[in-house]
Amino acid sequence: MTDPILVEIVEGTLASVEKEVETAIARTARSPMIRDAHDFRAGIHDARLRKLTGRSYSALVQPIVRDFPIETMKPGDVYFHNDVYLSEGGIGHLPDLCVTVPVFHEGEVVAFVQAFGHHDDIGGSVPGSMPSHARSVYEEGLMVPPIKLWDQGVPNEAALRIMTRNSRMPDSLAGDLDAECSACLMGARRLGELFDRYGKQAVEECFDAIIAKTTETFRRELLAKIPEGTYVWEDYAEHDGVDEPRLHAQRITLTVDHAADAPLTIDFTGTSPQAKGPINHAGDYAGGVFLKKWLAPVLRNLADTPERMAELDVNEGVVPLIKMIFPEKGTLLTPVFPAPTNARTFVILRLLGVLAGVLAKATGGRMPADQETIRYTGVHGIDADGQPYLMREVLGGGSGGRWYADGEDTIHIVPDSRNIPVEFAEARWPFRVERLALACDSGGPGMFRGGLGYDKHIRMLRDASYMSIADRSILSCWGVNGGLAGRPFRVEIAGKEMEGLVDDHPVQAGDLIRIRTTGGGGWGSPYDRDPRAVAADVRDGKVSIAGALGDYGVVLDGDRIDEQGTAELRARLRPPADRFFDRGPGYAKLSGGRAYAEVDEL
């Protein structure tokens, strides 16, 4: 039997090494997206390619060992790739650059340290390498299949020169890659010390125990709470940058069989055909192993308490519990090369919500409402020194209300990510941030309110171009169990409303860019929310007086709650029966006037 104390030591060391790698990258990288916004993550995998750490998702090692057999690897080797279609599903779009370093013990590969993140620019037709109207990957930037970027400690200068030559931000790209390679090499040395201290057999037995614990915990504590049966739900991306806005469906048929080796079967049949524009995600590789680890965190919402949920890691142990069935080639999740993919967040983020929605149907609503917490906004142009610049920010939004609490305000799905500090932005780029606040009334009304999005105002000091890669500008984050949808994404420039997908809309010096990100959906009927909580939201500026009255049926006289007036108004406003899902008014615009989808019926 594996020594439980040693398992704890190994598990803690893995977490420590992962954090040390990320800290080293953050301190030495050059680009704002990596250094300041922290849109990257590290991961540790064993020699069997299993992900051992569970604080965040990561890319895969499979494409590296596919092209470079383990027995050919040497200490000091560093491997690199960003090719979506040759990544086995681990890379979603070309700006996500991935570095992989093998860990050695007594001349043998025993593990891998990996880092991947979103970089400023890797070429393509627009600054930032995310052309919203792309029709093929060839417009999106430089594709690099798995290569050996460092050979036994010696960088491949030719490859580095090719990549930096294709980037509009060559210095940032070179600096980021150097930071990531050096940090992963450092992490590999740290892990090697763990093997030296305890021996290969003992450490690998601990790896098995760590993964097995996750498998057993998820099976016993989480999956057991889902009643056996088959459940169907779907949600939608609203536009692809090429065609007119329409409903691009992502459907999940969930079958639960507790006696099966894989208790959950996730069938994506019914997902829409691949889009002409860049919202596709190549997910049907390596048995869908990336998507299994991407979706599994949703299951943690079934934990008994929020505290317990926070304790549960998602490592390779979740993979055997899930069977995935993909539709034929040529859908949003099974695109055919060279379909574009740079805005694939519209699909993989939506899939998190689709799984949450189908689980809500299965569990009587014991799942959070919807959220949309990634969108890219920014400006690019020429600064006062005549140099090109790119400011691109991943602004978060509100998370969905939960069965026990309101949603969180202005969160980001990538752990430790953040908006770019105002002081840094104003010192580096030619604009002023005149407002950075919570967007009042953006959270979906509910017994537990959806979290609020950002309200950000940027005043341009020089002519420039605005860019945006954002979904939920028509459709809203849905409410559940009687909760109402949140407010959608909105951008106005000089008073003109923008679409969600924009590459280079001209902005003039003096123009004001107003950005309002999405609010999460509400949970439970807003007419069941404690009026004191509504009054507190009004005092905090999260809900307006008009919102308190119209959305919650709460009558306020200054700071005082008119209890009789509130009771009478709520009796008039409350519908005869709450709708289980509320998709908001945007759904009717794209569905031909329907208020809800057929799959919304319980």
Residues 339/274, Cβ–Cβ less than 8 Å: yes
Strands 322-325 and 264-267: parallel
- DSSP conformational letter for 278: S
Q: Once rounded to an integer, what is the mean pLDDT over residues 277-301?
A: 96
What is the structure's pLDDT at 195?
Answer: 98
In angstroms, the CA 411 to CA 402 distance is: 15
Q: Looking at residue 245, what is its pLDDT?
A: 96
Beta carbons of 153 and 78 less than 8 angstroms apart: no
SS3 per residue for 376-411: EEEEEEECCCCCEEEEEEEECECCCCCCCCCCCCCE
User: CA–CA separation, 379 vs 391, rounded Å?
Assistant: 5
* pLDDT at residue number 596: 92
Q: What is the pLDDT of residue 189?
A: 98
pLDDT exceeds 80 at position 587: yes
C-alpha 542/C-alpha 507 separation (Å) is 30
Mean residue pLDDT across the chain: 96
pLDDT-based confidence at residue 599 (cuts at 50, 70, 90): very high
- Give the residue among 493, 539, 536, 538 at the shortest CA–CA distance from 516: 493
**Residue 1 clears pLDDT 80, i.e. is over it:** no
pLDDT digits (tens, 9 = 90+) for 264-276: 999 999 999 999 9
Mean pLDDT, range 524-533, rounded to an integer: 98
In this predicted structure, the answer to whether residue 11 has a pLDDT above a threshold of 90 is yes
The predicted pLDDT at position 559 comes to 86
Return d(Cα 393, Cα 379) in angstroms, integer. Answer: 9
Please, are residues 591 and 598 in contact by the beta-carbon 8 Å criterion?
A: no
DSSP structure string for 330-376 = SBTTSPPTT---TTTHHHHHHHHHHHHHHHHHHHTS-S-------EE
Give me Rg for the CA atoms of the chain: 24
Residue 114 structure tokens:
């990996």
Q: What is the mean predicted confidence (pLDDT) over 352-375?
A: 95
Query: What is residue 21's predicted lDDT score, i.e. its pLDDT?
Result: 97
What's the pLDDT score for residue 58? 85
Neighbouring CB atoms inside 10 A of 260's CB total 13
What digits encode the pLDDT tens for the residues 414-461?
777 788 889 999 999 999 999 999 999 999 999 999 999 999 999 999
* pLDDT computed for residue 66 by the predictor: 97
Terminal alpha carbon distance of the chain:
47
Instruction: Kindly report whether the global pTM for this prediction surpasses the value 0.85.
Output: yes
Place of tokens 């615009």: 589
Beta-carbon contacts of residue 496 (< 8 Å; ≥ 6 apart): none
pLDDT tens-place string over residues 175-209: 999 999 999 999 999 999 999 999 999 999 999 99
pLDDT digits (tens, 9 = 90+) for 401-419: 999 999 999 998 777 778 8
Tell whether the torsion through CA atoms of 445, 450, 451 and 453 is positive or negative. negative
pLDDT at 164: 97
Q: How far is CA 422 from the centre of its chain?
A: 23
pLDDT digits (tens, 9 = 90+) for 300-323: 999 999 999 999 999 999 999 999
Name the residue type at position 148. Answer: K
The percentage of residues in the chain with a pLDDT greater than 70, rounded to a whole number, is 100
Q: Which residues is 233 bridged to in the sheet?
A: 252
The pLDDT score that the predictor gives to residue 414 is 75
Dist CA 282 CA 284 (whole Å): 6
